[in-house]
A and B are shown apart, each in its own frame.
Chain A
Amino acid sequence: TVGCVVVDGEGRCAAATSTGGLMNKMSGRIGDSPLIGAGTYACEVCGVSCTGEGEAIIRGTLAREVAAVMEYKGLGLQDSVDYVVKERLDQGKAGLIAVSRNGEVAYGFNCIGMFRGCATQDGFMEVGIWE
């Protein structure tokens, strides 16, 4: 699974996710990536893209949850990502990346490693795999 989240210079957020799904999956199986609110979500507040165990991400409506926690609990982006990864996955293993309309970027995962990269307009740039 691959994904990208962006907030542009006008503060508009967007998210996109694409995948081949699970190795040895049943034909016709649908995962979280195409499900808006589960694998992908964007609104005025943030943009989110998820990856990992699709069934756990779907049950946790993971991407929308980040936006909801920001809207209703008033948490910041990274705190919302940490909360959702910690509280919404049950036994599932997954990761996600997110941006906020304020130009912040965040990510979180509860499995072994996540291929990710992030950058902000003030020059910050990071590419990583492990914790």
Chain B
Amino acid sequence: MGGWAIAVHGGAGVDPNLPLERQEQAKVLLTRCLNIGISALRSSLPAIDVVELVVRELESDPLFNSGRGSALTEKGTVEMEASIMDGHGRRCGAVSGVTTVKSPVSLARLVMEKSPHSYLAFSGAEEFARRQGVEMVDNEYFITEENVGMLQLAKEANTILFDYRIPTVGFDKCSAVVENPLQMNGLPISVYAPE
């Protein structure tokens, strides 16, 4: 047996001009989450509990695109999704389109543990959350000033952005913000046409 191991991520596709202090904030958060996971592993918590614990922590911090600090829809609202899977028995749970559940990953865990299904979405997921008594908050809780500004930029550029922090001053060549026609993730929408 090789002992325990843990990895966390906060998103891929980073603005090459991300200010240094933002980079430091990200590293501090990643380090904090790693340490939460490491102390849980040292206390012999099973892997499934540790991944839920760490992702809950990441969801609660507005720095990354999940939970509080989630990206906004074209309507300026938040629709979150999450999944969790236990390799021991390959059990899994997932939710999509949740708007008032404070921790989507914990609701996904409840889908795995307390429902006959592996995936619940939108109003069904919200109804299940109410029945399970999980903590629920207004959609505003998840919306940050910064993301309202980012949505404005994306709309002006007529584009859809994945985890990309476009620079606030001008758009350099690396940014995912592009001119018409409508693009997704910096690629012509035709790339996804098959979808």
CB-based contact A55/B88 at 8 Å: no
Residues of A near B155 (CB, < 8 A) are 24
CB-based contact B11/A6 at 8 Å: no
CB interface residues, B 56-109, toward A, < 8 Å: 58-59, 64-67, 69-75, 77-88, 90, 92, 94-97, 104-105, 108
Residues of B near A17 (CB, < 8 A) are 55, 82-84, 105
Given A2-B8, A23-B147: A18 touches B37 (CB 8 Å cut-off): no
Minimum distance in angstroms from A15 CB to a CB of chain B:
5
Does B129 lie at the interface of the complex (its beta carbon under 8 Å from any beta carbon of A)? no
Does A66 lie at the interface of the complex (its beta carbon under 8 Å from any beta carbon of B)? no
CB-based contact A116/B154 at 8 Å: no
Majority-rule SS of B interface residues: mixed
Within 8 Å by CB of B161, from A22, A107, A128, lies A22
CB-based contact A105/B5 at 8 Å: yes
CB-based contact B65/A24 at 8 Å: no
Which single residue of chain B is at the shortest CB-CB distance from A48?
B85
Does B52 lie at the interface of the complex (its beta carbon under 8 Å from any beta carbon of A)? yes
Annotate A88-131 by CB proximity to B: 1 below 8 A, 0 otherwise: 00011111111111111111010111111111111001011110
CB-based contact A129/B54 at 8 Å: no
Annotate B175-195 by CB proximity to A: 1 below 8 A, 0 otherwise: 000000000111100011001
In the complex, A36 Cα to B191 Cα: how many Å? 23
Residues of B near A97 (CB, < 8 A) are 7-9
CB-based contact B6/A5 at 8 Å: yes
In the complex, A117 Cα to B49 Cα: how many Å? 18
Does B133 lie at the interface of the complex (its beta carbon under 8 Å from any beta carbon of A)? no
Given A6-B5, A39-B83, A51-B9: A115 touches B191 (CB 8 Å cut-off): no
CB interface residues, B 139-195, toward A, < 8 Å: 142, 147, 150-151, 154-155, 159-164, 174, 184-187, 191-192, 195
CB-based contact A12/B88 at 8 Å: yes
In the complex, A96 Cα to B86 Cα: how many Å? 17
Given A18-B58, A18-B105: A94 touches B12 (CB 8 Å cut-off): yes
Given A16-B108, A23-B161, A34-B96: A107 touches B2 (CB 8 Å cut-off): no
Residues of B near A15 (CB, < 8 A) are 51, 84-85, 87
Does B124 lie at the interface of the complex (its beta carbon under 8 Å from any beta carbon of A)? no
CB interface residues, B 1-32, toward A, < 8 Å: 1-16, 18, 23, 26-27, 30-31
Q: What are 19 A-B residue pairs whose CB atoms fall within 8 Å in the complex?
A: A1-B11, A1-B66, A3-B55, A7-B6, A11-B2, A17-B83, A18-B80, A20-B71, A23-B160, A23-B161, A27-B77, A31-B81, A34-B81, A34-B83, A104-B2, A111-B12, A114-B12, A127-B27, A128-B27
